[in-house]
Amino acid sequence: MELSEILYQQTNDTLKRLAGLCGCSSYTRKDDLVRCIHKVVMTPDSLRRLWDKLDDLSKKAVASAYHNGGEFNATAFVAQYGSLPERPQSRWSWQAQPILLDLFLYTPTPYHAFNVYNPILPSDLLPLLENLVPPPDKFQVSGVSQAPKTTPGRFHRLAELICAETEQAGLHDLVAYLRLVNEGKISTDNTSGRATLAGIKQIVANLLQGDFLPLFDKYRANQTIRPFGLDVFARESGLVKMGRIRGLQLSPLGQKFYQTQDVESLLEAFESWTREGSFDELSRISALKGQKSRSTLFTPPASRREPIIEALSWCPVGVWIDLEDFFRAIKIWRFDFAVEKTGYSSLYVGHKEYGALYSDTYWPVVKGSYIKVILMEYLGSIGALDLLYTRPEEAKSAVSSPYSDEIFSPYDGLKYFRINPLGAYLLGQAGEYIPSRPLAASLFTVSADLVVTVTHPANLTPNNRRDLELLAVPLGNGSYRLDSQRLLTSLEEGQELAHLADFLSQRNTGPLPPPVLAWLERINQNSQAFNRGEPALFIKANSAELLELALSDPVLGKICRAIDKKTLVIPANKEKAVRARLKELEYILQ
């Protein structure tokens, strides 16, 4: 919108106020006021004089709008510089007093103290500012290399921070979840399709480090963090799918990742979850009321996830980042997102009449809580982010006072996160995944007589134990015996011999003995000795003469084979051709 058009939208009173800033106060008619203001602002020499009179913060405001296509984002500006340019208030009027900045940034509606927060630069003013405005101030999130031990908590006390290094546990737990799905041990709810309490308990029992927070003796499925996050992520990312007959099962992508643990497959799943997942993580904040109101219209969850993930990709790797700094960065980098489609919010906390959310509380309560769920329940659970958090009862709540013992959300305690090597790979900050900790050098020793002796039982994870049991039968006292029947059954159920052989080789102390290699090679050859052919159809003839008739026919003879004196066998996909030829010979196939 050009300057003249904007000025004509203002009231005479507003124009007179602006005229007093640029030497046009002698005019009273609207046309004269507009022409005078327009001439002063759009003339390079007088524009330079106005620019030189601006205070430093106002110049930064103009530069911020200029480098944002002419739009001034007040939220981003305050997050970066701490406040808007100071604006004196009139003693006798509800209107704020105009300042020189108002000759550069305008609202396309009549001037009012409540709608000056997102003004614009006139489109025809932008070229004149090219040689005046400085380059944009860059904002970079910094972090600390050493994990803080404490953080301010409730009642003005220091709360101890819990450190969760998730890289190894996340990969392990995701593979363990896929194994449980492959074994049919994750029961699902008929309504939501998510894991039932019985399924969640199966996941809990197979977690490498347990859940982020202690679980009660009796808990509900939605009271867990890691198990719930793994279940939703696997579904939303396409690693698992619901079948009509078998229920929850691995997708081809999930099968590939389960068999190989190839992080490229995880990256594909991660990108699908970011762009396409439809589960709304805001529903995990049960204390946020009004989510099911008819007047509440939410934006698609993927439209919120994508800017959060993009902002993470701009953050440094390997340092602990304060969550409040990350919140600032989201605003400054203009990765802020909308949660609701309407211009007003139907969400509230506590009582509907007294718990409405306003501009100063909406961001931390709604958006801040949503971001915490994404970081902790999903990125932390799959091993992309290491976390520092307090117990929720010790954390400052997003809504309560420092003296309140109310727990708003179990995610309130999240204070810092660190992008680990797996997270750097998934976020596009590393071209390949190099684990921060190499795999244990060995877990067991395999002898020439096919006996496996576990040498490092403390390092034997549930997934390692399961892989070992796909190859061997337990003998007791930490010993196993490689077993042909056990291995053949595993291959029959869809396991890959190459993956199991690599596991045996990589976790053995030293090279595998020649008899073990020979055993694996024999299993490999025997597993391919017999192959299932195409489906066949058996046809019974009433006499040997009819069978010979079919075999001697120039058409049927090329399709049919005899397996006894009265039985023919044909490929199932040739049934139509056989029927047609029999009809030509004046027979039909009953």
The predicted model scores a pTM of 0.79
Distance CA 169, CA 538 (A): 54
Q: Which residues pair with 151 in a beta bridge?
A: 159
- pLDDT on residue 116: 45
Distance CA 327, CA 416 (A): 11
Using DSSP's 3-state secondary structure scheme, residue 534 falls into coil
Q: Which residues pair with 538 in a beta bridge?
A: 569
Residue 405 has pLDDT above 60, yes or no: no
Q: Is the Cα torsion angle 572, 573, 578, 579 positive or negative in sign?
A: positive
Q: Is the Cα torsion angle 52, 57, 58, 60 positive or negative in sign?
A: positive
Distance CA 69, CA 73 (A): 11
Between these two residues, 481 and 441, which has the higher pLDDT value?
481
Q: What is the pLDDT of residues 326-341, one digit of tens each?
A: 999 999 999 999 999 9
Q: Is the Cα torsion angle 254, 259, 262, 263 positive or negative in sign?
A: positive
Q: Which token pair is 587?
A: 């027979």
Write down the domain spans for the chain: 3-129, 150-426, 444-527, 536-584
Q: What is the pLDDT of residues 286-344, one digit of tens each?
A: 889 999 998 999 999 999 999 999 999 999 999 999 999 999 999 999 999 999 998 78
* DSSP code of residue 427: T
Residue 496 has pLDDT above 60, yes or no: yes
- Of the candidates 87, 114, 115, 110, which has an alpha carbon nearest to the alpha carbon of residue 100? 87
Distance CA 91, CA 389 (A): 47
* DSSP code of residue 237: T
